[in-house]
Chain A
Amino acid sequence: MITLTHYLVLSGILFSIGLVGVMKRKNLLMLFFSTEILLNAVNVGFAAVSKYYGDLSGQMFAFFIIAVAASEVAVGLGLLVLWYKKTGSTDLDSIQMMKG
């Protein structure tokens, strides 16, 4: 029997993967994937809790979050293309000019 706990554990694992990804990944594209994973981890949580309470609003939130995530990525990808055109690199560490 898969209970709420299982879903929450899944959500937690996904979240950790996402966090590690944000920290470790240098490729900008991968970075966005990681943020997506983070957001979807939360989505899983919302959906599970929503089912548990029998309250639909949680699942509704998941849709909103997906929309927000999509728009964030849209902006991000735009910037990525711009940066690639300028420098020919998608390395996050190449964006590092303003020290001090």
Chain B
Amino acid sequence: MTAERKRLLFLALAGLGLTVLMQAVFDDYLRTMACFVGIFIILAVSLNFTNGFAGLFSLGHPAFMAIGGYVAALLTFNPEMKPLFLPDLPEWLMALHLPFLPALLAGGAAAALTALPVGAAVLRLRGHYLAVATMGFLIIVQVLITNMEPYTRGPLGLNGLDTLTDLWWVYGSVLVTVYACWKIKFSSYGRMLQSVRENELAAACLGVNLFHARLAALVIGAFFAGVAGGLWGHLVTALTPVSFSLVLAFSIVVMVVVGGTGSITGSIIGAVIFSCITEFFRPLEENYSVYGVGEILMALILILILVYRPQGIFGSREPDWLTPKTNRC
């Protein structure tokens, strides 16, 4: 076992220990909060895959999340309640009822599949143009969900989902996401992606197929976003189109930017900071009726980071002690 493996295994076990501890000590509210932190870690790390490794500035993450969330919800929905809530579903879908794991994977797969044609169209664009195009995709998905009433109940949304998401599911998904992204970052494909980000022309001269590399980055990121959407839906127990808004896209981008675009460790830390900070200020807000302090502080941190450390907390690096010498970049 290499030193790198040992350290990663140690971190995975530490995470497991933390999960056991949280399960034992926390009440329902704090456990839910921990689950949201985990889900945001998955979202930030997977967005980092697209935005950080490949340098594709995408605002479409919540759209993939919504697709994954709705698909997973339709598959796990209580079969007795289904005809009551969704009378116009096609028969095969009405009868279909899957356990949580296949439903989550189906959600992820649906998001990844959607990413293929979307990527084929929008990845011809660069920079700001790409950002605006992915934003357009997000709006299209929202409008579709709002109007596909037989499947989604439109603006009213799906509610009454079973609370299937718990700390174990979140821990498992975070582990898989982080491990997969970590391995890819230091694989030859990961280096290829980073070379595309740094210098397209040089990468193309070395034989990298720019379009394939980019498309794969979008699809992989979309898969994890879809899984996160499924977890999200079964934690909130309700899905409506307005939840997957530009505001959500913006918060995930902020987590990635603050943590350091391209750094997995940074994305995790960014996700933890930004999902906890507003909750920490709740007692202050509620006792003194000064609602909104958490948001103001969040904005302040963002401004300070952008002014004094524009590359984010970690830049695009991982902490030295975690990476073997040959892998540092």
Are both chains from one complex? no
Please list the residues of chain B having a beta carbon within 8 angstroms of any beta carbon in chain A.
none
